[in-house]
């Protein structure tokens, strides 16, 4: 994620800012990719802290307008969890916008989000026909950590959920192209195999022992659909980690000289190699504070090939190039 200029004075702004250091209200314009100091602000600004502009007074911003179903406010914690979920969604949408997804120049369908608060029964997250369902309860760090440990996962965050589930929607968009499915099946396998049975088998007996040679995560080994979603999410992770590293003014001998933009990089091998190198260093910094690795994954050669495949399609897919 970029670091942004202050439109009314010196200093910088971060993506989630609602005001400058001097207290001047600002909002993010996703079309200009810049902060502005004037309304109209999103109607959700006061309720959940949305910091995007709206097309007109009293309207939702581009991101909030994609939320077709908001959580029940009577469920404890729903509003604060919803606010954090929407913040993760805005981050994801701005990342994908760097590749032209879901912006005005994108001719395809946008996702509709069902953001659901959990009662006694957990919410099943997923994607069907353009509708992305997310449990806002996953914004709660205690619940999320409990589930991460129960599922033996090395990583579980709200932005991770957003990237994974929207990746399913991106696959659905790309599958409408004549030239995508054959290439996908050659790389990931045939997604027409029984999905429910594959997941039941995964949870019953676990992944094959050598899954690390072929997949980024054990869950990716369950079915080609999940392999795609995990791989696409990891491409988004790695690209944004690299972009944020560059935007923060940090340096590394791995980085190209000049004003390099990871989202504009056409060579997936170059991008993935740089990102992998940076994560090793950042993981080491995290350990100095007793924290878990920022990116606790190892990229096998097969995983790199799949990441390169996803990079090819996500960079060109939104505009049908």
Are 178 and 253 members of one domain?
Answer: yes
In the 8-state DSSP scheme, what is residue 52?
B
Counting the structural domains of the chain, the total is 2
Are 55 and 173 members of one domain?
Answer: no
Q: 120 is written with which tokens?
A: 């006694």
Are 152 and 200 members of one domain?
Answer: yes
Counting residues of the chain whose pLDDT is more than 90, the rounded percentage is: 94
| 243-254 mean pLDDT | 94
Give yes or no for a contact between 44 and 51, defined as CB atoms under 8 angstroms apart. Answer: no
- In this prediction, residue 257 carries a pLDDT of 83
Q: DSSP assignment of 84-113, as one string?
A: HHHHHHHHHHHHHHTTTTTSTT--SPPPEE
Q: Does 36 reside within a domain?
A: yes
Are 233 and 173 members of one domain?
Answer: yes
Are 152 and 210 members of one domain?
Answer: yes
Q: DSSP assignment of 186-227, as one string?
A: HHH--TTS-HHHHHHHHHHH-S-TTGGGT-SSTGGGG-HHHH
Are 85 and 24 members of one domain?
Answer: no
Q: Does 104 reside within a domain?
A: yes
| 106-123 mean pLDDT | 93
Q: 283 is written with which tokens?
A: 């993981």
Q: Is 135 helix (H, G, I), strand (E, B) or coil?
A: strand
Are 289 and 162 members of one domain?
Answer: yes
Are 228 and 115 members of one domain?
Answer: yes
- In this prediction, residue 61 carries a pLDDT of 98
| 203-210 mean pLDDT | 91
Give yes or no for a contact between 108 and 318, defined as CB atoms under 8 angstroms apart. Answer: yes
Q: Does 253 reside within a domain?
A: yes
> Nearest-CA neighbor of 99 among 163, 165, 15, 160?
163
Q: Does 72 reside within a domain?
A: no
| 230-259 mean pLDDT | 94
62, 86, 111 - which closes a domain: 62
- In this prediction, residue 318 carries a pLDDT of 73
| 90-95 mean pLDDT | 98
The mean of the pLDDT values for the chain is: 95
- In this prediction, residue 320 carries a pLDDT of 64
| Res. 184: pLDDT tops 90 | yes
Tokens 């999940």 correspond to what residue? 226
Q: In which band, very low, low, confident or very high, does the pLDDT at 121 lie, cut at 50, 70 and 90?
A: confident
Q: Does 310 reside within a domain?
A: yes
pTM listed for this prediction: 0.94
Residue 6 makes CB contacts below 8 A (sequence gap 6+) with 12, 13, 20, 21, 26, 35
> Nearest-CA neighbor of 281 among 252, 304, 261?
252
Are 18 and 83 members of one domain?
Answer: no
Q: Per-residue pLDDT tens for 253-283?
A: 999 987 899 999 999 999 999 999 999 999 9
Are 47 and 87 members of one domain?
Answer: no
| 189-202 mean pLDDT | 95
32, 62, 92 - which closes a domain: 62
Beta strands 67-69 and 112-116, pairing class = parallel
Q: Per-residue pLDDT tens for 26-52?
A: 999 999 999 999 999 999 999 999 999
Q: Does 90 reside within a domain?
A: yes
How far apart are alpha carbons 8 and 63 in whole angstroms? 25
Are 53 and 157 members of one domain?
Answer: no
Q: Does 85 reside within a domain?
A: yes
- In this prediction, residue 181 carries a pLDDT of 95
62, 90, 107 - which closes a domain: 62
- In this prediction, residue 259 carries a pLDDT of 86
Are 187 and 304 members of one domain?
Answer: yes
Residue range(s) defining the domain that contains residue 34? 1-62
């Amino acid at each position: 994620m970029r670091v942004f200029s202050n439109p009314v004075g010196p200093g910088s702004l971060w993506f989630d800012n609602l005001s400058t250091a001097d207290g001047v209200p600002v909002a993010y314009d996703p079309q200009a990719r810049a902060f502005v100091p004037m309304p109209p602000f999103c109607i959700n600004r006061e309720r959940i802290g949305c910091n995007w502009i709206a097309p007109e007074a009293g309207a939702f911003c581009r991101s909030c307008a994609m939320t077709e179903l908001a959580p029940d406010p009577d469920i404890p914690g729903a509003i604060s969890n919803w606010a954090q979920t929407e913040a993760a969604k805005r981050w994801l949408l701005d990342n994908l916008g760097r590749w032209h997804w879901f912006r005005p120049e994108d001719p395809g369908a946008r996702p509709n989000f069902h953001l659901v608060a959990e009662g006694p029964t957990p919410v099943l997250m997923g994607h069907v026909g353009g509708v992305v369902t997310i449990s806002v309860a996953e914004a709660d760090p205690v619940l999320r950590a409990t589930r991460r440990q129960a599922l033996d996962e090395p990583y579980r965050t709200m932005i991770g959920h957003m990237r994974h589930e929207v990746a399913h929607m991106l696959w659905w968009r790309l599958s409408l192209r004549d030239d995508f499915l054959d290439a996908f099946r050659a790389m990931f396998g045939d997604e027409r195999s029984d999905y429910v049975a594959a997941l039941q088998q995964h949870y019953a007996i676990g992944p094959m022992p050598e899954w690390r040679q072929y997949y980024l995560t054990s869950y990716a080994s369950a079915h080609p659909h999940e392999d795609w979603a995990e791989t696409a999410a990891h491409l988004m992770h790695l690209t944004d980690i690299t972009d944020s590293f560059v935007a923060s003014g940090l340096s590394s001998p791995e980085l190209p000289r000049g004003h390099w933009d990871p989202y504009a990089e056409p060579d997936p091998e170059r991008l993935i190699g740089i990102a992998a190198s940076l994560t090793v260093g950042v993981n080491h910094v995290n350990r100095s504070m007793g924290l878990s690795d920022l990116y606790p994954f190892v990229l096998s050669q097969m995983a790199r090939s799949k990441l390169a495949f996803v990079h090819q399609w996500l960079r060109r897919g939104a505009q049908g190039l």
